[in-house]
Structure 1
Amino acid sequence: MAIRKRPKVFITRKLPDPVETRMRELFDAHLNIEDRPLAQPELVAAMRESDVLVPTVTDRIDAAIIEQAGENLKLIANFGNGVDNIDIDAAARRGITVTNTPNVLSEDTADMTMALILAVPRRLTEGAQILTTDDGSWQGWSPTWMLGHRIWGKRLGIVGMGRIGTAVARRAKAFGLSIHYHNRRRVSQQTEDQLEATYWDSLDQMLARVDIVSVNCPSTPATFHLLSARRIALMKPGAYIVNTARGGIIDEAALIQALKDGAIAGAGLDVFEHEPAVDPKLIKLAESGRVVLLPHMGSATVEGRIDMGEKVIINIRAFVDGHRPPDRVLPGRN
């Protein structure tokens, strides 16, 4: 079905001003100025009235909602790399194309991953809180004050060696970490040689041998609770977990119990299983210094968000012009 020259594009959240301005120039764009998450009935109404929907990770576009889409809706141009918020198969059955915004957030997310890898063993947030708490607890430098653990020479196990995982590995190698990884497919020999990386086809075996685990794989049905209670129990008592991917990849209840029991040393989390809710037990652990918590800000840079918006615009324009969008997500990708 042909889409009119200026398609009606509904954007579910506020985007950077340069992106919104360009969308208004090119399309009949409906903006969310208040940046208020849409309730389900509002999302359904938008899909009934629009030619193109631009959702984000906070919008759950499941099969039931897709079935209520209007006849004119032919493109869901996701503002984000991950598409676990969209039922790709259901969209395909309705003849709706789905696109995403890959390859623009790898470096930003890898930066934040590395920050957490440093923050947890070196107790950075604990130290910062001491200086902002007016209780007189800091009396100056002491040889035994706020001792953390060195990361130089430790083993980092990367779960998911895609673009982000590889970017994390490059940073970690510069910090003197030994790189280990588990992935569905082995990376190229050249990449392994450059990173001096050790490949493990068994995730269980890798988890038992590394000092820090970095979760960088996509969220799919196959990776839900990939780090289960059984797998967390394989880790060393002195090991740390860092997650900047998706919260559901780790069994959060099992992680909390392991931290409480001292079965692992700590965790750095930028994502949560029931986001935006954060388990109060995690917050308590953070207050005690066992966990560093961030509010899903791993990819939050001005440059990254603008790059994402430009990808969305390119995908929409290609589709409207009758071409295959460059970032089309095919059914069965997971």
Structure 2
Amino acid sequence: MLIVADENIPLLESFFADIGEIRRVSGRTLSPDDVNDADILLVRSVTRVNEALLKDSRVRYVGTSTIGTDHVDVAWLEARGIAFSAAPGCNANSVAEYVLSVLSLYAEKQGRDDWETLSVGIVGAGNVGSELARKLDRLGFTVRLCDPPRAEREEGAEELFCSLDEALECDVVSLHTPLIRDGQHATFHMIDAAKLERMTAGQLLINSSRGEVIDSAALLERLQGANAPTVVLDVWEQEPRINPQLVDRVWLATPHIAGYSLEGKVQGTEMVYQALCRFLGLPVRKKAGQYLPEPALSKLSFTSAAEETGAGNIAMRSCYDPRRDDARLRLTMDLPAEDRGGAFDRLRKNYPVRREFSSVKIQLKGTSKSLQDTFRALGFKLKI
């Protein structure tokens, strides 16, 4: 059995070597010739999986180790009897921690001692948006959830969800929607010129969902105007050949890595492995925890002198500081235009190991219950 897999999927051999022969390929340049003799295809979000790719192949199972499926023509796979699985929620915690790290920097930038005084509108309450909302709620933030499809089908929706216009009134707006191009709940260019015009310099807009959710041409024009909002982009239109002018105008620019914690990536591989085992009728013998290495940073210690916000910031930024990714991406903008796309992909392929907050044990000596609750809400392990 031949398994063709994106070379950037972690732990391929560990999970799949005893199922079949593995052929690693570039997900960005994957062609019909690469999959013609494959039985199994494993991809990430950079590969378009459709009739053009698979019509002459013998592929009978496709797995994507990502939460999104807009790069896969699921209807065509179903019509051809090709099994399919994704990894919904695999990196939800990673993306939530990315947003929390951005929020801590933004509160510091604004001179706020209490970051929880920021109101946060979350657009898209799926796995990622819901996980972010849960964390923010535990931290004491005012959270407003916008998810029109859920609002339509769930009881008590008036109390749970707000409109997009209401979400856009919050101090912070964080986007977590799938990319849907057509229909009543289309998200393509959902944040257009009119929506951007309503946002002001006192607001922060974060997009870690799909680049096409924001009209990037309209965004660039808005950022060149007066009283523009602060913007953080992890996802971009025309990836990997992103607009250097837009990079120059946003506050933080990262190369589609919000969900790139080691835990998130390995969990995505594990979920696809489990689905493939079920498809093949094989026992599930492996778990992600078997393969996670000891973290480089395993413990932090705080005494009774620790100030709550400062201690939380130190801990979060010890695990992840988005300014490092911002600096790396901006350096690629100095390259010739023809080299920037490859550089963007290399930033993702060679992404340094990033561990989630749960990999660090926080030792607290004589600290307040409030500080303990903060660390628990952030997801750190505690030793008191």
- Fold conserved between structures, TM > 0.5: yes
TM-score (norm 1): 0.75
Task: Please state how far the C-alpha of 1:314 moved relative to its aligned partner.
Answer: 1.3
Alignment of 1:69-148 (within 5 A): 69-70=56-57, 72-123=58-109
Residues 294 and 191 (structure 1 numbering): CA distance in 2 closer, same or farther, change over 3 Å?
farther
Residues 121 and 281 (structure 1 numbering): CA distance in 2 closer, same or farther, change over 3 Å?
farther
- Determine the structure 2 residue equivalent to 1:293: 253
Q: Percent identity?
A: 23
**Does the alignment pair 1:16 with 2:7?**
no
Match of 1:25 among 12, 18, 22: 18
What count of residue pairs does the alignment treat as equivalent? 277
Cα distance in 1 for residues equivalent to 2:220 and 2:257: 21
Amino acid corresponding to residue 119 of structure 1 in structure 2: L
Residues 172 and 50 (structure 1 numbering): CA distance in 2 closer, same or farther, change over 3 Å?
same
8 Å contact kept, 1:99–1:315? yes
RMSD over aligned CA atoms reads 2.7
**Does the alignment pair 1:262 with 2:226?**
yes
SS in 2 for 1:319: helix
Task: Please state how far the C-alpha of 1:148 moved relative to its aligned partner.
Answer: 7.2
8 Å contact kept, 1:103–1:163? yes
**Does the alignment pair 1:315 with 2:303?**
no
Amino acid corresponding to residue 30 of structure 1 in structure 2: R
**Does the alignment pair 1:51 with 2:39?**
yes
SS in 1 for 2:206: strand
- Determine the structure 2 residue equivalent to 1:330: none
Task: Please state how far the C-alpha of 1:236 moved relative to its aligned partner.
Answer: 3.6
Mark the runs of 5 or more structure 2 residues left unpaired by the alignment.
Answer: 284-384
Cα distance in 2 for residues equivalent to 1:169 and 1:114: 11
8 Å contact kept, 1:120–1:267? no
Moved more, 181-190 or 23-32: 181-190
Amino acid corresponding to residue 50 of structure 1 in structure 2: A
Match of 1:279 among 217, 225, 243: 243
Cα distance in 2 for residues equivalent to 1:162 and 1:85: 18
Task: Please state how far the C-alpha of 1:74 moved relative to its aligned partner.
Answer: 1.2
Match of 2:29 among 28, 39, 46: 39
Deviations 1:160-199 (A, max 9, x none): 112211211123234443111211213978999xxxx862
Amino acid corresponding to residue 279 of structure 2 in structure 1: F
Cα distance in 1 for residues equivalent to 2:134 and 2:206: 16
**Does the alignment pair 1:252 with 2:216?**
yes
Cα distance in 2 for residues equivalent to 1:114 and 1:165: 12
8 Å contact kept, 1:60–1:86? yes
8 Å contact kept, 2:93–2:264? no
8 Å contact kept, 2:28–2:46? no
8 Å contact kept, 2:27–2:43? no
SS in 2 for 1:26: coil
- Determine the structure 2 residue equivalent to 1:4: none
SS in 1 for 2:129: helix
SS in 1 for 2:9: coil
Amino acid corresponding to residue 217 of structure 1 in structure 2: T
**Does the alignment pair 1:178 with 2:115?**
no
- Determine the structure 1 residue equivalent to 2:174: 214
Cα distance in 2 for residues equivalent to 1:121 and 1:280: 26
Alignment of 1:166-245 (within 5 A): 166-183=130-147, 184-186=149-151, 199-200=161-162, 202-207=163-168, 209-221=169-181, 222-245=186-209
Cα distance in 2 for residues equivalent to 1:174 and 1:282: 34
SS in 1 for 2:89: coil
Amino acid corresponding to residue 215 of structure 1 in structure 2: L
Task: Please state how far the C-alpha of 1:265 moved relative to its aligned partner.
Answer: 2.4
- Determine the structure 2 residue equivalent to 1:139: none
User: Between Structure 1 and Structure 2, which shows a larger proportion of helix residues?
Assistant: 2
8 Å contact kept, 2:123–2:167? no
Deviations 1:19-61 (A, max 9, x none): 42331122222234xxx44535xx2113211111001111122
Cα distance in 2 for residues equivalent to 1:160 and 1:267: 18
TM-score (norm 2): 0.66
Cα distance in 1 for residues equivalent to 2:27 and 2:246: 25
Cα distance in 2 for residues equivalent to 1:165 and 1:189: 19
**Does the alignment pair 1:302 with 2:262?**
yes
Deviations 1:57-91 (A, max 9, x none): 11122332233x32x21111112111111111222
Task: Please state how far the C-alpha of 1:271 moved relative to its aligned partner.
Answer: 0.8
Higher-RCO chain (CA-CA 8 Å, sequence separation at least 6): 1
Mark the runs of 5 or more structure 1 residues left unpaired by the alignment.
Answer: 1-6, 124-145, 324-334
Deviations 1:117-167 (A, max 9, x none): 3334534xxxxxxxxxxxxxxxxxxxxxx8579643222111011221121
Moved more, 182-191 or 80-89: 182-191
Residues 21 and 198 (structure 1 numbering): CA distance in 2 closer, same or farther, change over 3 Å?
closer
